Amino acid sequence: MTTVEYQVSPRKPWRLGRKQLAVNGLVFFGSIAATPLLLDATPLAGKLGAAFIFVVIATLANVIVSVIRQGPRMVSNAISSSLIYLATALVLLPLGSILFTVIQKGAGAIRWNTFTQDMRLSQPDAPFTEGGALHAIVGTALIVLIATIISVPLGTLTALYLTEIKGRFEGLVRFLVQAMSGVPSIVAGLFIYSVLIVTLGAKYSAFVGALALTILMLPTVARTAEEVLKLIPRELREAGTALGATQWRTVAMVVVPAARSGILTAVILGVARVAGETAPLLLTILGNTATNVNPFNGPSAALPLYTFTLMRTGLDVAITRAWGGAFILLTLVLVLFISARLLSGKKR
């Protein structure tokens, strides 16, 4: 006779049931409905006044519901929960405001020709059906790609040195990586400009701009990859050594494959870190209205510089185009961050 075993997942005590979700929704929407009524009856006015009244009403309602359901001892818990929800809302409010503003002001400039044409034959105040951001999109892709090709091997090897080798220069290397994390982006651009363009006579190009972004991307990749490598169990390293493998072979065939998804997350975070940088590009790529697919010859364009240049014109149509460029760039960065989050949550 066989025995069938059922695996029951333990219930989380903090998980909200349907009834509690319904009550919370009723409190939320009821507070929203009561806010304009009390706003007219108080000397408060404007959005800040409405927000203050909503927070007060929602907190009091939450406390009352908690006392009715669980007794007076839950007053402090209800107040703490309300403060946590308020803090979360304050954190998400700027993000939501940015997304709403960029989509509202930039979506009108997005057309099919935005991705198929450049501004070589069009003026900034031309209709949205003329010209586009192809040159900026291609320039951003080339610059970020070159910066990634340079930064990823250097950053990964630096992380391996800090976690696996731990040589005599470990403290110095870690200090330099941390110091590079705080370097302002304009300083990175000035460094590349003074060394390559002024001193060595290099020309403005996407490659020079990529070198400036490499300085900013390298510490992000190195520090994130270091933290990922620290999560790899030491038993895996010891197992490789016990089988007779050398250290570099154990690292290459055991440690790095085990941390592959985490290292890929570090790369995506590094790309997202530099994709929207404008200051270094002002000094290194100069800008261009035509599509330049050669990263080593001639000025290039990029989405941050495209947005900045159009915004400076002061023309209504050009400003809307600038918001469209910001919309494209924000979408790109958002996709990268979501990809990094999904990869970081993936089981290794």
The pLDDT value recorded for residue 16 is 56
Between CA 181 and CA 38 the distance in angstroms is: 49
pLDDT in tens, 92-121: 888 888 889 999 999 888 999 999 999 998
Tell me what the mean pLDDT of segment 161-180 comes to: 88
Read off the pTM.
0.80
Distance of CA 40 to the CA centre of its chain: 41
CA angle 144, 148, 150 (to 5 degrees): 120
46: its two tokens = 């404007």
pLDDT in tens, 23-58: 777 877 777 787 787 777 777 677 777 777 777 888
Burial 297-327 (b: 16+ CB within 10 A, else e): eebbbbbbbbbbbbbeeeeebbbbbbbbbbb
Phi, psi of 300 (to 5 degrees): -130, 175
Tell me what the mean pLDDT of segment 296-317 comes to: 91
Which amino acid, residue 279?
Answer: A
DSSP 204-273: P-HHHHHHHHHHHHHHHHHHHHHHHHHTS-HHHHHHHHHTT--HHHHIIIIIHHHTHHHHHHHHHHHHHH
Domain borders along the chain are 18-107, 134-344
Q: Tell me yes or no: is domain 134-344 CATH 3.50.50.60.
A: no
Find out whether 191 and 206 touch, Cβ atoms under 8 Å.
Answer: no
pLDDT in tens, 248-306: 888 888 888 888 888 888 888 899 889 889 999 999 998 888 999 999 999 999 999 99
